[in-house]
């Protein structure tokens, strides 16, 4: 009985590892499509939804800086526009990758607190890559949580 339990956990771990890799590759691919002529700071993101589908996004800048949108929100809004409402995991790829405050609040709207968040500090020209994994609940302490507000 114990051996089967260990094998199941190992298989689940391998599946999670494969999904992380797929999510990270999707975020890297999205990063290459970023439109960032002003900051020259390309960001890519990929979200895994409850249905198992992956949606990607890249940052899109505008000469009127306030009209720019981050990669994370593009990926989440794309998923929502396809009928998805729950995020299981998100990966953001950039140099010093971390979601901004606005993105963190949007993530909280669609992801449970235990959803996996992957920061992929990816610098392809320097051939550097650092992976940090956390949860949605740790992204934004004291976040406005619609479920807690009764909404």
Q: Tell me the per-residue pLDDT of 13-47, one tens digit each, with 9 for 90 and over.
A: 577 899 999 999 999 999 999 999 999 999 999 99
Check which CATH number belongs to the domain holding 109 and give it.
3.40.140.10
* Residues labelled catalytic: 72
Question: What percentage of the chain has pLDDT greater than the value 90?
Answer: 74
The DSSP symbol for 83 reads T
pLDDT at 75 over 80: yes
Cβ-based neighbour number of residue 36 at 10 Å: 17
Determine the pLDDT at residue 3. 52
pLDDT at 1 over 60: no
151 within a domain of the structure (yes/no): no
Q: Where does the chain have alpha helices with state H?
A: 2-31, 71-81, 101-110, 136-139
Number of structural domains, the chain? 1
Phi, psi of 38 (to 5 degrees): -95, -50
> What is the distance of C-alpha 42 from the center of its chain?
15
150 within a domain of the structure (yes/no): no
Question: What percentage of the chain has pLDDT greater than the value 70?
Answer: 91
Expressed as residue numbers, the domain containing 9 is 2-139
DSSP 49-78: ETTS-EEEEE-B--SSGGG-B-HHHHHHHH
């Amino acid at each position: 009985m114990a051996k089967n339990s260990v094998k199941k956990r190992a298989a689940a771990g391998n599946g999670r590892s494969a999904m992380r890799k797929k999510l990270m590759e999707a975020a890297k691919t999205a990063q290459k499509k970023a439109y960032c002529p002003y900051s020259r700071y390309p960001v890519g993101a990929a979200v895994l939804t409850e249905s198992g589908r992956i949606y990607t996004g890249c940052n899109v800048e505008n000469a009127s800086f306030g009209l720019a949108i981050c990669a994370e929100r593009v990926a989440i809004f794309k998923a929502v526009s396809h009928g998805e409402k729950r995020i299981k995991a998100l990966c953001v790829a950039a140099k010093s990758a971390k979601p901004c405050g606005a993105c963190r609040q949007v993530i909280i709207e669609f992801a449970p607190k235990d959803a996996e968040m992957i920061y992929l500090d990816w610098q392809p020209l320097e051939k550097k890559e650092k992976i940090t994994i956390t949860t949605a609940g740790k992204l934004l302490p004291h976040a406005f949580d619609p479920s807690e507000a009764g909404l």
